[in-house]
Amino acid sequence: MRKNILLKRYNSIIENISNIKNSHNINYDITLVAVTKYSSIEVINDFLELKLSTPLAESKAQSLRDRSNIIKNADWHFIGGVQKNKIKYITGVASLIQSLDSIDTLLFMDEYSKKNGIVQNVLLQFNISDESQKNGFAINAYKMVYDKSLELNNINVLGLMGMAKYTDDISVINKEFESLRVIYDNIKSEYRNEIFNTLSMGMSSDYEIAIKQGSNMVRIGSTLFEDLI
């Protein structure tokens, strides 16, 4: 029963994505990441039994540590605030840490990775909504930040992540996603680094807009998992 609901929801998101791709002549793959932060272990296991090979994402370091210990057959991402004292819970555990938002934590994660023989894949999170409570580097610092990241041997920056303001004003959301796509395109064309190929934007409420603005990774929680216990 629960599995049927999950499959229906998943299929309807995939169909939506496919329709947007068709109507906007998008020919690259768009990765769906299932955000499990509101879900129980039982619901997550049902989802995994569908064998959709969708990465899962958590936003709290301890939850990632605990859940990845219980659920071994999943590809985990981390999407929450990265704190130095919890870097050990996520580094080498998540295949992609999407939310690196300070030079300090980048340096610290690089050190930790070096000591533990890890090369950690990350995305750099940018603050595109100008809300002071949101995490992220300032857009206009992107060159400095990316240059710095290239000096770190145990960190691979695969791309960028950003969150738009939570608002009904579609023009605001469009503008914010566009600002991240612009620096993503700039980095791609200025550095021509093959591993830099991920633009993670869009959640349940705004993934359609994000895809139109160039996103190739959407992070969806509530549309998949809401009201399932």
CB nearer to ligand PLP: give 194 or 229.
229
Taking CB under 6 A as the rule, does residue 159 contact ligand PLP?
no
Q: How far is the CB of 189 from ligand PLP (least distance, A)?
A: 27
Report the half-sphere exposure of 199 (CA within 13 A, side-chain side).
22
- Residue 59 interacts with ligand PLP (CB under 6 A): yes or no: yes
- The footprint of ligand PLP on this chain (CB under 6 A) covers a number of residues equal to 13
Q: Does 113 bind ligand PLP (CB under 6 A)?
A: no
- Residue 35 engages ligand PLP in binding (rule: CB under 6 A): yes
221 binds ligand PLP per the rule CB under 6 A? yes
Cβ distance 39 to 67 under 8 Å? no
- Reduced to 3 states, what is the DSSP secondary structure of residue 88? helix
Burial of 191 (0-12, 13-18, 19+ CB in 10 A): middle
CA distance 156 to 106: 10
Q: How far is the CB of 222 from ligand PLP (least distance, A)?
A: 4
Burial class (CB in 10 A: 0-12, 13-18, 19+), 21: middle
Residue of 79, 123, 155, 217 that binds ligand PLP (CB under 6 A): 79
Q: Six-digit token pair at 74?
A: 């999943």
Q: Which residues bind ligand PLP (CB under 6 A)?
A: 35, 37, 59, 79, 163, 203-205, 219-223
